[in-house]
Amino acid sequence: MLKFLRIVGSFLIALVLGGSLSSAWAAFPEKPVKIIIGFPAGGPLDAHMRLLSDKLQAVLGQPVIIDYKAGAGGAVGAQSVMQSPPDGYTLLLANTGTMVINPAIYTKSPYDTLKDFQPIARTAQQPLALIVNKDVSANTLKEFVAYAKANPGKLNYGSAGNGGISHLVPEMLKSETGIFMVHIPFKGSAPAFTDLIAGHVQFMAESVPQAANYAKQGKVKALAVTSAKRNPALPNTPTVIETGIANLEVVGFYGILAPKGTPPEVTNKLSGAFKETLESPEIQKRMIEQGADPAYLNADQFTKYLAAEMPRWAKAVKQAGAKLD
C-alpha cells in the first residue's frame, strides 16, 4: 500500500511539474527576441530580416533585435546561437551555406545542423544571380566562359565567405565549364560587392535581391540566374539552363533555427509567428519583387527539408572538389 501511494504521489508531482513547465512558457515571449545573423550588416540575410522584423514584432508583441556575428561563412554566428540558452530568446537566421554546405565542405565542422539546432521555420527560397564587374567585356554567361578560358588565372571571384553557397556555385561553374578563377573570400556579401564594383574581383554568385539592386543601378552586369525559371527581379536575365549549362540549377533557402533543447511550446509559438508574418500580402509582394520566394515551412517540415538537403549538397561539394580545413 505504501509503495502504491509513493507511485501515485510521484505521478501527481510529475503531472504538476509538467503543467507548471508548460504554463511557464505560456506567456512567451516576455522580453525582446534576438536574431543572430552570421554575416555583416548590409547583406541579403540582413535585408531579409529587416523586411520581416516590423510585422514579426507586432505578432510577438516584443521587440526583435538583429545582431551580427560575422565570420567563417556564417559559422561564427551559428556557434554563438548553438551555445545560447535554449529558451527561444536567441535565434539564428541562416542560409543554405551555413546550415547544409558548411558541414559538408569543412573537414571538421564546428557544429552538426540537426543535432545542435532546433529548426523553427523556413522563411524563403532564394536563387542566385551570376554577375560580373561592369567593365568585364562579357555580356552573357557564354561570353564570360570564353573570356575566362582566354584569361586563365587572371580572374578572381568573390564570395560571402569560405563554404557558403556563393563559394560553392562558382566552383560548380568551374567544374561544369573547365574555367579557372581564383577564390577571394570576404566576411559577408556586402564587402564582396564593394570589391566587385571596384573591379578587384570580376565575378560573383549572389542572391537575386542584392544582385538585381546593383544591376539596375548599372554597377554590375547580371549574366544568368540559377533558378529553373527567370526571376521577376531580373526578367531579362536568362537562366543558367537557357545558356546551355544543364547541371547548375541552384536555389538556396533562408530559415530560423534555435539551440537544441528549446521547448516545443516555444518552438511552435515562434514557428506560428513566422507563418503569420509571411502570410502578410505586403511582405509577400515585396519579397517577390526583390526576387525571393516566400516559401514557409513549419518546424517539422523544415527539419525534414534540412535532412534531405544535406546529402544533396554533400554530393555537390564532392563533385565540385571543394573542401576546406
Domain boundaries, the chain: 32-126+252-320, 127-225
- Backbone φ and ψ for 65, nearest 5 degrees, come out as -105, 130
Q: Tens digit of pLDDT per residue, the chain (325 long)?
A: 544 444 444 444 444 444 544 556 688 999 999 999 999 998 889 999 999 999 999 999 999 999 999 988 899 999 999 999 999 999 999 999 999 998 888 888 899 999 999 999 999 998 999 999 999 999 999 999 999 999 988 999 999 888 788 988 999 899 899 999 999 999 888 899 999 999 999 999 998 988 999 999 999 999 999 998 999 999 999 999 999 998 888 899 999 999 999 999 999 999 999 999 999 999 999 998 888 889 999 999 999 999 999 998 888 888 777 777 7
Residue type, 213: N
Reported as a single tens digit per residue, the pLDDT across 6-51 is 444 444 444 444 454 455 668 899 999 999 999 999 888 999 999 9
CB atoms inside a 10 Å sphere around CB 227? 21
Of 126, 124, 125, 113, the residue nearest 258 (C-alpha) = 113
**CA count, 13 A, side-chain hemisphere, 255:** 30
Cα(42)–Cα(36) distance, rounded to whole angstroms? 14
219 within 8 A of 134, measured Cβ to Cβ: yes
CATH fold match for the domains 32-126+252-320 and 127-225? yes
**Which regions of the chain does DSSP assign to beta strands (E)?**
33-37, 64-68, 90-95, 117-133, 156-159, 182-185, 203-207, 220-225, 251-259
**What CATH number was assigned to the domain covering residues 127-225?**
3.40.190.10
Maximum alpha-carbon separation in the chain:
90
Cα(199)–Cα(134) distance, rounded to whole angstroms? 8
Top CATH class of 32-126+252-320 equals alpha beta
Q: Looking up cell 515562434, which residue turns up?
A: 270
